[in-house]
């Protein structure tokens, strides 16, 4: 059974968020922010940090993107504006999902990994044993504070459009998780608690005026549970 079928019964029943959202209009509260991560790449399968490097989707990634498009079609989006990272893997994912991209912006680009571009976490930890991108950032790349600010700007952009329509971001693993974390108004370090598999969908919205994470990890393909 795909995670979509396992999760669709809780699409509007589960939530996360403990702080009262800033005052927002009813139009905003009636719309959603959706985040779609790009499909699988050769680097993503190896756990290599992929920021600005242009890496093509694998055949599996292309299929994942097509399945994501089918799921999005079932979610009955309200006149969605589609905003996409400029990386080829996100643009190709959007195209394969059947989406019309309205805006391409570096605001949704992946974390700039700087000196850690292309490396895996075990490789990085050979010289920095406790390293996590969420707490340490990346030398010659983006700091935690910089990504926090960029995620806040992405949330503000979404809220601007949500007064009249749904919003769909086509982005990347770490940055999508950063946006989700800031949507529910948690410190960016808490982003490590949210998983975002390739070509998966997260849905953010409101419940009684409180920002919530309604769904995470929605896909049209089986997703193995990562070992602890």
Catalytic residue among 31, 40, 49, 110: 110
* pLDDT surpasses 60 at 13: no
Which pTM does this prediction carry? 0.87
Mean pLDDT of 11-23: 36
Average pLDDT score, the chain: 89
**Residue positions in the annotated binding site for substrate?**
50-51, 89
Give residue 25's pLDDT. Answer: 65
* pLDDT surpasses 70 at 63: yes
Q: 116, exposed or middle or buried, with CB in 10 Å at 0-12, 13-18, 19+?
A: buried
Please state which of the ranges 21-30, 119-128, 162-171, 197-206 shows the lowest mean pLDDT.
Answer: 21-30
Give residue 28's pLDDT. Answer: 84
Helix crossing, 173-183 with 144-161: angle to 10°? 70
State what percent of residues in the chain have pLDDT above 70: 85
**Residue positions in the annotated binding site?**
50-51, 89
Mean pLDDT of 131-157: 98
CATH for 3-218, among 3.40.50.720, 3.40.50.300, 3.40.50.1240, 3.90.1660.10? 3.40.50.1240
Catalytic residue among 31, 38, 172, 221: 38
* pLDDT surpasses 60 at 195: yes
Closest CA to 112 of 69, 61, 182, 49: 49
What are 215's strand-pairing partners? 203
Cα separation values, 181 from 35, 128, 168, Å: 12, 25, 16
Concerning whether 136 is annotated as a catalytic residue, the answer is no
| CA 179 to mean position of chain CA atoms | 7
Mean pLDDT of 34-50: 98
Mean pLDDT of 3-13: 31
With cut-offs at 50, 70 and 90, classify the pLDDT of residue 205: very high
Helix crossing, 59-74 with 88-96: angle to 10°? 50
| Domain boundaries along the sequence of the chain | 3-218
Q: Are 169 and 15 in contact (CB under 8 A)?
A: no
Concerning whether 110 is annotated as a catalytic residue, the answer is yes
Give residue 29's pLDDT. Answer: 82
* pLDDT surpasses 50 at 198: yes
Give residue 26's pLDDT. Answer: 65
């Amino acid at each position: 059974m795909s995670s979509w079928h396992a999760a669709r019964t809780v699409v509007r029943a589960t939530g996360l968020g403990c702080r009262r959202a800033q005052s927002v209009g009813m139009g905003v509260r009636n719309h959603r922010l959706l985040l779609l991560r790009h499909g699988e790449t050769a680097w993503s399968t190896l756990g290599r940090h992929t920021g600005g490097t242009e890496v093509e989707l694998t055949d599996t990634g292309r299929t994942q993107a097509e399945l994501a498009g089918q799921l999005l079609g079932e979610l009955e989006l309200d006149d969605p504006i589609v905003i996409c990272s400029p990386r080829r893997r996100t643009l190709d994912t959007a195209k394969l999902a059947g989406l019309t991209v309205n805006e391409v912006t570096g605001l949704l680009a992946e974390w700039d990994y700087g000196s850690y571009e292309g490396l895996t976490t075990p490789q990085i930890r050979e010289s920095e044993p406790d390293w996590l991108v969420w707490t340490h950032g990346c030398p010659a790349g983006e700091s935690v504070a910089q990504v926090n600010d960029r995620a806040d700007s992405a949330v503000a952009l979404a809220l601007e459009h949500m007064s009249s329509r749904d919003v769909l971001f086509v982005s990347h693993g770490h940055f999508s998780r950063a946006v989700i974390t800031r949507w529910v108004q948690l410190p960016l370090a808490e982003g490590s608690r949210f998983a975002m598999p390739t070509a998966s969908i997260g849905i953010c919205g409101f419940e009684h005026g409180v920002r919530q994470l309604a769904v995470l990890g929605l896909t049209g393909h089986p997703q193995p549970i990562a070992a602890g």
